[in-house]
Structure 1
Amino acid sequence: MGLEYDLLVVSVADAQRDDPLFETGQPAWEDGDFDGMTRALEQHADSVLAYLSDRLSIAYAGSPCAPSLEPGIAVAMNDDQGVPYATLAIDWACPHDADADVLESGHRIRAALFPDDEGYVTSAKTIVTYDLDGRTGSAALDASHPAFSTAQSAAQRFAEFWRLGAEHLLKGLDHLLFLTALIVGSRRLREVVLAATTFTLAHSTTLILAAFGVVHLSADVVEPLIALSIAATAAWFLWRLWRLGPGALELDVTSTSHLALDRAGWSRLGVVFCFGLVHGMGFAGALGIDHAWSWTLLWSLLVFNVGLETVQIGLIILLFPALALLRHRAPRTAAWVAGLIALAVSVVGLVWFCQRVFGFTLIGEGG
């Protein structure tokens, strides 16, 4: 298990009423003392195990498996997240039963780690990758879907990661604002669909490369760049609007190709692809991809992307026709509306950029 250290310490200390853990573990975290952080967890291993076993359980043949904490707790910097993570192993001793029906039902795993009611984080997700009962796969568990069985079908696994990708876009304000900037700055439906698809291809590339261990960027670099990409995408449209007026909403096409984009359209796709690469690193961090790749992981990432792309296309189909109708009937009004939306998105992106670089807070954000 890989768990954010400071979140683990405060959650365990609070839930298990183990104040000494907080009193020794928190100062070690503040001082960047990794040996001290490791000692704190080792000295309070019983509290740690009690907290985790209450919120992560495994059952087999209808009977609970008995957890025990293995020696060798380690605390190290997670470069993707930019914070210390605790790595620990729990061994669950399950009842042995060779009955064919039992084997077919598999193990049932339930996770409710770091629930919302603790008040430290919201919408925590647990990504489980398993090689068990002669089956391999991944599952995404959260408050709305807290359990799964290793006997789940491929369709069920597909549905879980599709949902995870869809929710990540719908609940991630960063990516919703980026998509908004793409929509208001697009002049034809095909242009915004191409831009959204280019974005998906780009972030899929860095997700897969992160899974292979080929690329790696700290969250301290990725998160400000994501905010800057939002501001820059919206500002590009604002600059064209200032220079061309309502003409910025017109697509100058002389090509007969299927894509039928002008020079500005192709340039925009190039910029969107570059920004998509950065957003892919953000997705990798959100999914906790910091270990060696596997076919199971690759399958899960591809399905995650299908879910995200589906929601992107759905939002475009819902929003862009209304904007296009306004442009057709009242071009000047449409330019003002698109400009005001782009201005708001650009300002929010710049504020987030400053927050993430300089560490102050002005408005809420989500990712």
Structure 2
Amino acid sequence: MLTKLSSYCLLFILIGCACMSIEVFAHGVDDNTRAFLEQNSGIQFIPFIYIGAKHMITGYDHLLFLVGVIFFLHKRRDVLLYVTMFTIGHSATLLLGVLGNVQVNAYLIDAIIGLSVVYKGFDNLGGFKRCFNWQPNTQWAVLIFGLFHGLGLATKLQEFNLPSEGLFTNLVAFNIGVELGQFAALVIILIAINTWRKWPSFQRFSTLTNTLLMSAGVMLMGYQLAGYFIN
């Protein structure tokens, strides 16, 4: 009874996250952060660390992907490897995207980020092996999708036309904040998953969770593609 109730709670939480406004979470920023970024000048190391951390913690598109990435990882070494691949990917395109002024459509990038969530849920459910008798290289997939996640971060920062003075330092601080937020979120996620792994209901829980990941990813893709065609 308890495990079934817990599963329903998880269902409502994930659906609620998926239905919340993209402007509030994901790649949106609140009014105070927007005002700071628009008026910012010079090096603001600590504030950019804070903004980066808050962006990751409230960025459910990134977190949903990470939940899928680490869901079935048992060893710390494997968790570290995959998170490092993701970090290398999004750090590289975040810096190159902003510093190199790489212009990409934010809606399309966010749709690809939604696709990354669909991919990981589908992969965790064994979809590739069952449907195509083929398994993608999971490490390369995490790295490649990490590149798109970084471009998503870059497109949001580019909206504010940050001044060139102190830009590199501020970007490094922002990325440090992203990693700190990512670490904090991963600790909570890993504790929750590893605790549930000991329960007999884990198999049902894993199927439900990864099905919901796919559903949330499809919703994110649909939202962003609709925005692309409408705007």
Query: TM-score surpassing 0.5?
Result: yes
Report if aligned partners of 1:225, 1:353 keep a CA contact under 8 Å in 2: yes
Judging changes above 3 Å, is the alpha-carbon distance between structure 1 residues 205 and 355 closer, same or farther for their aligned structure 2 residues?
Answer: same
Partner residue of 1:236 out of 99, 114, 123: 123
Range with bigger deviation, 217-226 or 189-198: 189-198
SS at match of 1:216: coil
Measured in 2, the distance between the counterparts of 1:122 and 1:209 equals 21
The one-letter code sitting in structure 1 at the alignment partner of 2:118 is: A
Aligned-pair Cα RMSD in Å: 3.0
Report if aligned partners of 2:40, 2:162 keep a CA contact under 8 Å in 1: no
Partner residue of 2:207 out of 310, 335, 339: 339
State the shift of 1:228 in Å. 0.8
2:104 matched residue in structure 1: 217
Measured in 1, the distance between the counterparts of 2:85 and 2:151 equals 15
SS at match of 2:74: coil
Report if aligned partners of 1:200, 1:305 keep a CA contact under 8 Å in 2: no
Judging changes above 3 Å, is the alpha-carbon distance between structure 1 residues 318 and 292 closer, same or farther for their aligned structure 2 residues?
Answer: closer
Instruction: Please tell me whether residue 350 in structure 1 is matched to residue 215 in structure 2.
Output: no
Partner residue of 1:175 out of 54, 62, 81: 62
**Unaligned stretches of 5+ residues in structure 2:** 1-23
SS at match of 2:215: helix
- Please state which structure has a larger fraction of its residues in strand: 1
The one-letter code sitting in structure 2 at the alignment partner of 1:160 is: P
**Unaligned stretches of 5+ residues in structure 1:** 1-115, 131-135, 138-156, 244-263, 361-367
Larger RCO (CA under 8 A, 6+ residues apart): 2
What CA deviation, in whole Å up to 9, does each residue of 1:93-114 have, x standing for no partner?
A: xxxxxxxxxxxxxxxxxxxxxx
Report if aligned partners of 1:161, 1:307 keep a CA contact under 8 Å in 2: yes
1:49 matched residue in structure 2: none
Calculate the TM-score normalised by the size of structure 2: 0.72
Percent identical: 28
The one-letter code sitting in structure 1 at the alignment partner of 2:114 is: A
Instruction: Please tell me whether residue 158 in structure 1 is matched to residue 45 in structure 2.
Output: yes
| Greater Rg over alpha carbons, structure | 1
Judging changes above 3 Å, is the alpha-carbon distance between structure 1 residues 359 and 185 closer, same or farther for their aligned structure 2 residues?
Answer: farther
SS at match of 1:217: coil
Measured in 1, the distance between the counterparts of 2:29 and 2:146 equals 26
Measured in 1, the distance between the counterparts of 2:103 and 2:79 equals 29
State the shift of 1:129 in Å. 4.1
1:104 matched residue in structure 2: none
State the shift of 1:294 in Å. 4.1
2:186 matched residue in structure 1: 316
Report if aligned partners of 2:107, 2:227 keep a CA contact under 8 Å in 1: no
Partner residue of 1:206 out of 75, 79, 93: 93
2:80 matched residue in structure 1: 193
The one-letter code sitting in structure 2 at the alignment partner of 1:350 is: V
Calculate the TM-score normalised by the size of structure 1: 0.47
Measured in 2, the distance between the counterparts of 1:198 and 1:354 equals 27
The one-letter code sitting in structure 2 at the alignment partner of 1:217 is: V
State the shift of 1:195 in Å. 1.9
Kindly report which structure 2 residues correspond to 1:1-367, keeping only aligned pairs within 5 A, or say none.
Answer: 123-124=30-31, 125-126=34-35, 127=37, 128-130=39-41, 136-137=42-43, 157-213=44-100, 215-239=102-126, 267-288=137-158, 294=164, 296-327=166-197, 329-330=198-199, 333-359=201-227
What CA deviation, in whole Å up to 9, does each residue of 1:149-168 have, x standing for no partner?
A: xxxxxxxx332111101110
